[in-house]
A and B are shown apart, each in its own frame.
Chain A
Amino acid sequence: MILNKLRDYIDPNDLEIHIYKNGIYIVNYTLISSFDDQKINIDASDKKISIIGKKLVISKLKKDELFISGDIYEVKL
């Protein structure tokens, strides 16, 4: 129990979405289901996320995290 809590604290599995001025930072996603420069669809464990905007670019992509930059208008959960 404590070990699980500790593991979650060090390496959390929950989906996190951080909205910044210049983009959106998503942690613990599963898959980028589709994307173009106006819409990006992302799958997480039990959620689907859509990011709508203009000139969208996945400017950082790693196993568990990604950063989307561009003019973001809408984030749908």
Chain B
Amino acid sequence: MENRFLNKLDNIIVLSVKSKNIDRFLTNLYKLNIDIFKVDVLSYKEVIVEIYEKDYNRVKKLSILNKIDIIGFKGMKKNKNKLKYNKTLIFSIIIGLFVLLFLTNIIFSIEIKHTSSEIREFIKEELNKNGIKRLQFRKSFKELEKIKNNILDNNKDKLEWLEIDRVGTKYIIKLEERKIKNYNIDYKYQDIISNYDAVIKKIVAKSGVKVKEVNEYVNKGDTIISGSIYLNEELKEIVKATGEVYGEVWYKLSVEYPIINDFKEETGNKKSVYSINFFNKSLILFNKNTYKNSYIKKDIILKNNILPISLSKDTIYEQNVISGIYTEAEALLNVRDYANEKMKSMLDDGEYIISDKVLKYSVNSNTIYMDVFYKIYRNITGTKEINIEGSE
């Protein structure tokens, strides 16, 4: 049986033999029982012979009367020689790949997206504590999630929301600061002020004097219920003003939301089959039941170096395709719901959305960016201490 493909694994040398009597040389060669792969008779004095490298010493003994030169290599020996000849190049490529792999796994910069330098410094320290620093190996998604949750748990009073994204060799930290409302702070003598720029919708004054009316516009910090009681422009008494003020507040919320056509999830069913592959075509052998949706992981068992044909063991994983958002209109509805949910999550009891309006939206790289304007019925109550010495 001819082992054409197995010959590729052998060390074969190509010899040029010059002899006065080629026939005698060949007879000797045949008598020595040396395996010959090919004989090319160039002339009656010269012949090219292909033999195993291991037989070379035996053939060399015949070289007393003949001139034998190695003129080439075949099979594994040829590949070995190619490797030897190109070792510097191959070594450089491998080192280059390792360096590339190494560098792409290093984080070179950390960008914290927030306007306050204090917050940026604070987050930087928190990240340092959790092992996120410059010039360190990047962390896995799970590790980042763990760190994110850890920072959020430890700083519930300061942080509302935190996201750590890795873009190439850079971490981008997005966060939202938690703003604690200060209307709970009680002073001995105080005014009730507005915490927002708003139109007053409801005033519940328990003590003090109302200085603003419903439907009046107030800026942030304006006094609404005063603790200083005047009579005929003369300060009669200073009290602790208490009460609650609700107003119409305006917000602009920017959201981004992905447009996804299909969600694919594995059902957990899988099976192994064998297939013959030719170029990018595959013929699956003995496959009776096919999955409607699936993906295939190929494990090549046999491969031909010359022909683009191979035998592989395939694992077929069944998938469920869940249709997601298809049209822009559907996507817009989803974004709006998402924006509303986000806004509602920022509201307390008794607060609600009066109306919303989409200001603008754009679609880019499978993501919708939308700006929504909100009118919110919100508790705008704030307190300001009255400085008695100043008043007197």
Q: What residues make up the interface of A, taking CB atoms closer than 8 Å to B?
A: 10-12, 27, 32, 35-37, 55, 57-63, 65
Contact = CB atoms under 8 A, between A and B. Distances in A.
A58 B30 CA distance: 9
- Interface hub of B1, B23, B34 (most chain A Cβ within 10 A): B1
Majority secondary structure, A binding face? strand
A11 B23 CA distance: 32
Interface residues of B, number: 16
22 contacts: A10-B1, A11-B1, A12-B1, A32-B30, A36-B23, A37-B23, A55-B41, A57-B39, A57-B41, A58-B30, A59-B38, A60-B37, A60-B39, A61-B29, A61-B30, A61-B34, A61-B35, A61-B36, A61-B39, A62-B35, A63-B35, A65-B2
A68 to B, nearest CB: 10
A67 to B, nearest CB: 9
Nearest to A34: B27
Contacts of B30: 32, 35, 58, 61
Contacts of B27: 35
A31 B26 CA distance: 15
Contacts of A59: 36, 38-40
Majority secondary structure, B binding face? mixed
Contacts of A58: 26, 30, 36, 39
A27 B26 CA distance: 20
Interface string B32-58: 011111111100000000000000000
A10 B1 CA distance: 8
Given A32-B30, A36-B23, A61-B30, 12 more contacts: A11-B1, A12-B1, A37-B23, A55-B41, A57-B26, A57-B41, A59-B38, A59-B40, A60-B37, A60-B39, A62-B35, A65-B2
A64 to B, nearest CB: 8
Contacts of B23: 36-37
Nearest to A28: B1
A53 B29 CA distance: 21
A37 B22 CA distance: 11
Nearest to A32: B30
A61 B2 CA distance: 11
**Top 6 A-B pairs ranked by shortest CB distance?**
A61-B36, A59-B39, A62-B35, A57-B41, A57-B39, A32-B30
A12 B27 CA distance: 27
A11 B2 CA distance: 10
Contacts of A62: 35-37
Contacts of B35: 61-63
Contacts of A61: 29-30, 34-36, 39
Nearest to B50: A60
A18 B34 CA distance: 22
Contacts of B40: 59
A35 B36 CA distance: 16
Contacts of B1: 10-12, 27
Interface string B1-40: 1100000000000000000000100110110011111111
B188 to A, nearest CB: 103
Given A10-B1, A11-B1, A65-B2, A60 B26 contact: no
Nearest to A62: B35
A60 B41 contact: no
Contacts of A35: 27, 30
A36 B39 CA distance: 14
A67 B39 CA distance: 10
B59 to A, nearest CB: 13
A47 B37 CA distance: 25
Nearest to B26: A58
Contacts of A36: 23
A3 B121 CA distance: 79
